[in-house]
Structure 1
């Protein structure tokens, strides 16, 4: 299975993977060695916690390596979608009820961060936007009920 991902998202995963392999892995190995030095491992909470942390780090390393190996990296700057909303596009919206404006980039699940203006391609709002153009109005089912948004602008940045 391919994971769609922006260039920026792939770079963040590579940085996290590098940090886990070079910093976190070494720190947990040192913590395990220190806990072992305290003697009896059967009732050593520090040792158990360090081993648990090690398992988490190794699991995350495997997860990141798999995602990067299966990544379909898309550079929004190279897209030629004729103004259509596609993966990687940045979309400016206006809530037709409240008049509130928002700007979101449609990204992969792993890189989604609403506070940073990045929404997952599998989110209800992104699914409603895909394939539409500036000037189109979309309806989105939100936890607060059905909402209508007008697409003000579509950019590939």
Structure 2
């Protein structure tokens, strides 16, 4: 089984989500029991809705438990800052063409959210940055074309 990188924050978020789902389990079971008491199950909308909710909840629990079982939690705050871009770091970049500054945090697939500047380790930009050092200039092929960046700062936060 191949391990999947995940930040400490990502693991915490998944564990919190799992806890919420585990608390919903008995509530859903109770709703199924109450719906059964209403009679004919073939035409019982409450029963079918509760069973569907139970199926969704159980699938989400299995999914999160699997993700946690294959997670390799990486805490970059405990690593020595060498200025090298690795999983979990925050990278300040300067777009060489526009001189615009942008900051990205390199995270796991499930944690990625471009609106919050968290990019997946598997994204073209992250793959182009991994292994590079502060001060390096990189050329990255993205779906929108080739981008040129200078790595201004690498933060292990």
In the superposition, the TM-score normalised over structure 1's length comes to 0.89
Q: Does 1:96 align with 2:96?
A: yes
Root mean square deviation, CA, Å: 1.7
**Structure 2 runs not aligned, ≥5 long:** none
SS in 2 for 1:41: coil
Would the aligned equivalents of 2:107 and 2:121 in 1 still touch at CA under 8 Å?
Answer: yes
C-alpha displacement of 1:83: 0.6
Aligned-partner Cα distance in 1 for 2:94–2:59: 41
Residues 109-131 of structure 1 deviation map (CA, whole Å, 9 limit, x = unaligned)? 12212222211111111100000
Aligned-partner Cα distance in 2 for 1:139–1:46: 57
Q: Does 1:53 align with 2:58?
A: no
SS in 1 for 2:131: coil
In the superposition, the TM-score normalised over structure 2's length comes to 0.89
Structure 2 CA distance for partners of 1:33 and 1:152, relative to 1, 3 Å: same
Aligned-partner Cα distance in 2 for 1:138–1:32: 57
Q: How does 1:18-29 map to 2 (within 5 A)?
A: 18-22=19-23, 24-29=24-29
User: How many pairs does the alignment contain?
Assistant: 156
Residues 91-148 of structure 1 deviation map (CA, whole Å, 9 limit, x = unaligned)? 0112222332211111111221222221111111110000011221222233322222
Aligned-partner Cα distance in 2 for 1:65–1:138: 37
Aligned to 1:11: 12
Q: How does 1:69-108 map to 2 (within 5 A)?
A: 69-80=69-80, 82-108=82-108
C-alpha displacement of 1:72: 1.1
**Structure 1 runs not aligned, ≥5 long:** none
Aligned-partner Cα distance in 2 for 1:42–1:99: 65
Would the aligned equivalents of 2:94 and 2:149 in 1 still touch at CA under 8 Å?
Answer: yes
